[in-house]
Amino acid sequence: MAKLSIVKVKLDREVNSYILSCATTKEAVVIDPGQPAEKIAEQAAGLTVKYILATHGHPGHVGGKDDLKAATGGETGIHTADAKQFLRSADRYLLDGDELDFGEFKIQVLHTPGHTPGSVCFLVANHAFVGDTILAGGIGRQMPETDVRRQMMSIGTKLLRLAPSTALYPGHGPATSLERELAQNPIFRGAGARA
């Protein structure tokens, strides 16, 4: 079994970017190319960046994608709904169920609308990169385009289907796990859906 390496890079606006790489082939994927893009590029030195993917279209999560593409040559991707919502272009428009390969790994795209219409989570083995859909102890900051009811539905229909041991890597704050959030996150406590 190939080894997956996950490096977290802290960016402007307290955004977490993640560099996933296959230890065998050195192929890598960047999730959430915010700014400064150079900081991500530095951390990705020695890797072949195949994809640069955004969990959603908010500037803090995607504002560095073109700079990072220029620096690394990776192919950019964002869900179609957020490409429209935020007028963002990319090499590839993602849809629910898409699968992207890097090295010996596969990324599965889960469309989890709510925080934004085109919010997605990326699943690699038992690691889920969840953007602002769910954070440790809460959810991402609500914006004008956020539909919390839809977000809760996405969490219920897509994330709660994953194994409880699934590790969660949010767009802000510390990593956590599904079972930990089930126990501690107020959104799972009845009327707590306004967290």
User: Which CB atom, from 138 or from 186, has the smaller least distance to Zn ion?
Assistant: 138
User: Which CB atom, from 51 or from 86, has the smaller least distance to Zn ion?
Assistant: 86
Least Å distance, CB 173 to Zn ion, is 10
Angle at 112 between CA 146 and CA 145, to 5 degrees: 15
User: Which CB atom, from 32 or from 181, has the smaller least distance to Zn ion?
Assistant: 32
Cβ pair 130, 170 in contact under 8 A: yes
Using alpha carbons, select from 162, 155, 157, 98 the residue that is nearest to residue 127.
Answer: 162
Least Å distance, CB 13 to Zn ion, is 7
Q: 116: which DSSP letter?
A: S
User: Which CB atom, from 50 or from 61, has the smaller least distance to Zn ion?
Assistant: 61
Cβ pair 56, 118 in contact under 8 A: yes
Where along the sequence are the contacts to Zn ion (CB under 5 A)? 58, 132, 140, 171
Least Å distance, CB 106 to Zn ion, is 25
Least Å distance, CB 56 to Zn ion, is 5
Cβ pair 169, 178 in contact under 8 A: no
